[in-house]
Amino acid sequence: MNFPKVLSSVQKEELECDVSKEELKRAVWDCGMDKPPGPDGFTFGFFLKFWSTIEHDVYEAVTYFFY
């Protein structure tokens, strides 16, 4: 594989922009129902079912982690 040595200005902007709630939701929805995201055992099905309750907390955790 040949990877570019330098990111384009557009690629840099995309990597530096804030994560939106819609982007986060789309990432969770694209993972499937029966896969656990980590060692806690909660599947993505749990996240989908209770998304309206946990959306804000998940978003806050993600933004805290990246910023």
pLDDT (0 to 100) of residue 3: 77
Report yes or no on 5 lying in a domain.
no
Report yes or no on 39 lying in a domain.
yes
| HSE of 54, CA atoms in CB hemisphere, 13 A | 15
Q: pLDDT tens digits, residue range 10-67? A: 988 888 888 999 999 999 899 888 777 778 888 888 989 999 999 999 999 999 998 7
Report yes or no on 33 lying in a domain.
yes
Report yes or no on 53 lying in a domain.
yes
Report yes or no on 11 lying in a domain.
no
Q: Which domain holds residue 50?
A: 19-66
Report yes or no on 2 lying in a domain.
no
Task: Judge if pTM exceeds 0.85.
Answer: no
Q: How many domains does the chain have?
A: 1
CA dihedral 20, 22, 23, 26 (to 10 degrees): 160
Report yes or no on 13 lying in a domain.
no
Report yes or no on 4 lying in a domain.
no
